A and B are shown apart, each in its own frame.
Chain A
Amino acid sequence: MPALVAGIHAKAMRRVARKAAKRFALAWMAGSSPAMTATLFLSIAIAPPVSAAEAFVTAQGADALSIVDLAKMETVATLPIGGKPAGIAVSRDGARAFVTSPEGKFLTIVDAVTRKIEKRIPVEGGPLGVAASPDGKRVYVADLYGRRLVEIDLASGAQRSVGVGAMASGVAVAPDGKIIVVADRDDNALSLIDAATFSRVGTIPVGKHPFGVTVDASSARAYSANVESDDVSIVDLRARKVIATLKCGSRPYTVALAKGRIFVANQHGDSVSVFDAETLAPLDTLKVGEYPEGLAASGDGARVYVANWFSNELWALDAETLKVLGKAETGDGPRAFGAFIRDAD
């Protein structure tokens, strides 16, 4: 519970700060005194450089990581990764990005601030889905071919693994850090792993071929995008069962949550389905680029970003108005499979 309270507190603080900034900007635009304008410029000059929110997009065809400035909607850096990078997890504090290379059989740790490669850690099999523990101390990697989830202790480098189902794909850690959810694609099920004991405590049958998994902010529900049954399974993590199934577009791949809404990227539909997270009513289907894959929300939930594999673009969507806000060109074959958004400092 304290974590939840802290979260709400931080959110409220951010809201207050945003309001103040908006008020200031409005006053300035309305024709404020030269002195006030000077103060604004001065404060900009003195303040340390504030980095914009960024997207860390794995460009599998380009064998690289495209870093997209989300204020400009522009790729500002390209990091060669190798081994056909696919999975991505940016740590909650934004310090690091973890990238899986299933063909190269390794995990790359990127310093997200300096944009330099820190380390490359061999992971046997086919490392694909990846997620970091909320404290950033451990990384969980799904081995697509080895029926296992690998835990890497970043301080010691020690690895251990726990058995999961066939073709383990997406991985998500509940924000409370207690449960890890793995999509066992070819078993049509989710595995639940207790993070403390690192043991498999449950399997939940879902739709056909679950690929991406997402857990909500309160760690109560998990969502799986089921590629072959064209639906999303909503799982109650306490009851450990499916409580609802949402029919979406053709070949859903990933799920993101923002503004009390559920967003689903439909690969063959070239679209994003939107549902009300409370009533589960379908709200809209948004046309996006070609073959949307990775989908993630900004930290404040205002925007949802989608990587389009065929058209090599990252699109920004307004989570409230559901309008397209911008597009950025990425390296070839953007997958961005995981938590690929790094919020502004």
Chain B
Amino acid sequence: MRKGSANIAVTRRLFLGAAAALASFLPITALAAHGASPLKVVETTIVDAPPEKVWAVVSDFARADWLPGVARVEASGDDVPDQARRRLVMADGGAIEELLTKRDAERMMLGLHREGDDVKRLPATNYTALITLRPAEGGKTEVEWKARFYRGHPTNDPPPELNDDVALVAVTKLQRAYLAALKAKVEQR
């Protein structure tokens, strides 16, 4: 039984590899189609640094090379919401494009939207995040990383690998990794 399922997994990986190779010839288009039920994940952490110091890192949208798996960042557009874009060139060779949707220095909130979906990398679509900093006890900072997204399959009756649960697990894991990386980046100084 175990052997059988491993074979299926390998086959699927090969198939996805072929799909990726094909997709790399296509222009990146924002796959706007998504379903009726947005999902939400809220993760928080405490960073041992004052909010201003954390905000300096979080709000620097163009230089987010501290994000896990990112080799370098290519920024474009004016550094204001709805214009600033960043292309996260990943260490594995892929790329993620994000648009700055919000930067509120007073409330220490930063919003971003992933442009274009890649369910091989993240089995979710239309990913939007809102990062909020709040003062915590002892001069520390509470960082909240909230996401809104849809499952990987855009319509009803999703296949098991692209259902709500898979998307929730993947995004939760991703955001925990983001927060851990932010904490490491700020606290190391």
Q: Are A61 and B156 in contact (CB-based, < 8 A)?
A: no
Whether the pair B35, A102 counts as a contact (CB closer than 8 A) is: yes
Contact between A333 and B38, CB atoms less than 8 A apart: yes
Please indicate the chain A residues that have their CB under 8 angstroms from the CB of B146 in the complex: 310
Query: Is A284 engaged at the interface, CB distance under 8 Å to the other chain?
Result: no
C-alpha spacing A60/B130, complex, angstroms? 19
Whether B37 and A270, one on each chain, are in contact in the complex, defined by CB atoms closer than 8 angstroms, is no
Within 8 A of A (CB), among B29-68: 32-33, 35-40
Contact B155 A290 (CB under 8 A): no
B102 near A: Cβ within 8 Å? Answer: yes
Contacts of A60 in B (CB 8 A): 37-38
Chain A residues with CB below 8 A from B40, complex form:
61, 309-310, 332-333
Contact A291 B35 (CB under 8 A): no
Query: Hey, which chain B residues are within 8 Å of A145, CB to CB?
Result: 155-156
A86 within 8 A of B: yes
- Report the minimal beta-carbon distance from B170 to chain A, rounded to whole angstroms: 17
Chain A residues, CB < 8 A from B33: 167, 186
With a cutoff of 8 Å between Cβ atoms, the chain A residues found around residue B81 in the complex are: 250
Contacts of B35 in A (CB 8 A): 102, 126, 144
Of A228, A291, A309, A332, which one neighbours B32 at CB under 8 angstroms?
A228
| Cβ of A103 under 8 Å from chain B | yes
Among A183-209, those with CB < 8 Å from B are 186, 209
B148 engages A103 (CB within 8 Å):
no
Interface size on A, residues (CB 8 A): 25
> Would A270 and B32 count as touching, CB distance under 8 A?
no
**Are A103 and B101 in contact (CB-based, < 8 A)?**
no
On whether A209 and B38 interact (CB within 8 A), knowing A126-B155, A270-B102, the answer reads: no
Q: How far is the CA of A67 from the CA of B91 in the complex (A)?
A: 49
Contact with A along B77-96 (1 / 0, CB 8 A): 00001100000000000000
Chain B residue nearest to A312 in the complex (CB): B40
Q: Report which of B36, B39, B101 forms a contact with A250, defined as CB distance below 8 A.
A: B101
Which residue of A has the minimal Cβ distance to B132? A290
Nearest CB of B to A250, in Å: 6
A268 to B101, CA, bound (A): 7
B122-138 vs A: 1/0 string, CB under 8 Å? 00000010100000000
Considering only residues 235-276 of chain A, those with a C-beta below 8 Å from chain B are 250, 268, 270
State in angstroms the CA–CA spacing of A126 and B36 once bound together.
7
Verify if A128 is at the interface (C-beta below 8 Å from B). Answer: yes
A84 interfacial by beta-carbon distance below 8 Å: yes
When the two chains form the complex, which single residue of B111, B148, B155, B156 contacts A309, counting CB atoms closer than 8 Å? B148
B82: chain A residues within 8 A (beta carbon): 250, 268
Find out whether the CB atom of B113 lies under 8 angstroms from the CB atom of A86.
no
How far, in angstroms, from A332 to B41 measured CA to CA in the complex? 11
* Chain A residue nearest to B155 in the complex (CB): A145
Residues of B contacting A61 with CB < 8 Å? 39-40
- Alpha-carbon distance between A333 and B148 when the two chains are bound, in angstroms: 10
Q: Is A326 an interface residue (CB 8 A)?
A: no
User: Contact residues of B with A, CB < 8 Å?
Assistant: 32-33, 35-40, 81-82, 101-102, 111, 113, 128, 130, 146, 148, 155-156
10 inter-chain pairs at a CB distance below 8 angstroms, sorted by A residue, are A60-B38, A86-B36, A102-B35, A126-B155, A145-B155, A167-B33, A268-B101, A290-B130, A291-B148, A333-B40
Apart from A84-B36, A309-B148, 4 more pairs, CB < 8 Å: A125-B156, A144-B155, A250-B101, A309-B38
Closest 3 CB pairs of A and B: A102-B36, A84-B37, A268-B101
